[in-house]
Chain A
């Protein structure tokens, strides 16, 4: 069974940094691209960033480009999202997503709150 367990969320001040982690199990992590998708309180879903299976290519939404960095450690079956220069509008639940040309598995999410 695919399991994706996010961690690292919390309360951070505007301009601060946070690193999210996603521990994957139940599948061969190194064979799959992965993504982060977020959802602001009471709002819809927004794709944030993706990384290919070996980590060779990364992609970012314009709203986070230059501030967020996605990475992975296939030896640890873990996905990361380094978030810098955080803004109030980055407040959201961040979901870790397994990809297969489309999302095929979601974690339960971790809440990031940026205080102003």
Chain B
């Protein structure tokens, strides 16, 4: 099983500032990496797939980078609606895909 490790567990950032979230895979997943945003009581919302491709309707302030085992989600200027939990997911060996444990992005 490919283990996905996200850091930090909690990130405190002020609105308008930049947030950088990390995700590491226990073995290479090439670019088969997605990022999700989840708010309380809601289903996950796809932000990024293919490590760096924004999903339909996702604002340009969200960007993804990386390949292999190291990945980053950057939110360039935080808006109030961006405070949520973020998950990375590898789908390199579909359907045995795995998720990171999540990073909670909170208001500083």
Contacts and interface: CB of A to CB of B under 8 A. Distances in A.
Contacts of A107: 43
Q: How large is the interface on B (under 10, 10 to 19, 20 to 34, 35 or more residues)?
A: 20 to 34
Contact of A47 (B36, B49, B87, B97): B97
Interface in B10-53: 32, 34, 36, 42-44, 46, 49
A95 interface: yes
Q: How large is the interface on A (under 10, 10 to 19, 20 to 34, 35 or more residues)?
A: 10 to 19
Given A101-B91, A102-B32, A47 B43 contact: no
12 contacts: A44-B87, A45-B36, A45-B99, A47-B96, A47-B97, A95-B43, A102-B32, A102-B94, A103-B34, A103-B46, A104-B46, A108-B43
Interface of B: 32, 34, 36, 42-44, 46, 49, 87, 89, 91, 94-102
